[in-house]
Amino acid sequence: MSFIIRSGEKKDAQAILNLIIELAVFEKEPNAVEITVEDLIRDGFSSNPKFKTFVAEELDGTIIGMTLFYARYSTWKGKSIHLEDLMVTEAKRGIGAGKKLYTSIMKYAQENEFKRVAWEVLDWNVNAIAFYKKTGATVYNEWRVCHMNEESLMQFCNENI
């Protein structure tokens, strides 16, 4: 194996952001990323981090993949993890880095007694869906993801004061 999986560190923030941007392009949302390296450092690598990461690092120190996840609470299950992103740079797909990153999160969840790991996947990402199903994950077709962006939040709150 020409890479290792390790916990992300402050020094990885730029590489993590680069992978987030690459993922946004892959997901056909190239202009959607608003966060900065400073946001990642503040929110992920401070004394009270909002998220955790694992990175796939080649032996020369190049970051080729990452996961970003955080704890949440399920009213049905209890302590849970939300897997926000799992990304391997396009040139390095197929070498097993994605599976190792995925395995790292699942092992982290099990070792820390989380009851569930949840995430979203685009319906056209058939390779990811097939992989998740192969690992034993349930992919729900009935559920719809809802988001309210900053502008919508502001409009809603201003109208409902």
CATH number at residue 153: 3.40.630.30
Q: What pLDDT band is residue 161 in, cutting at 50, 70 and 90? A: confident
Domain count, the chain: 1
Predicted confidence at residue 151, as pLDDT, reads 93
**pTM score, whole prediction:** 0.93
Q: How far apart, in whole angstroms, are the C-alpha atoms of residue 138 and residue 156? A: 34
Q: How far is CA 160 from the centre of its chain?
A: 33
Active site residue 132: yes
Among 102, 108, 132, 140, the one annotated catalytic: 132
* Domain limits for position 88: 3-159
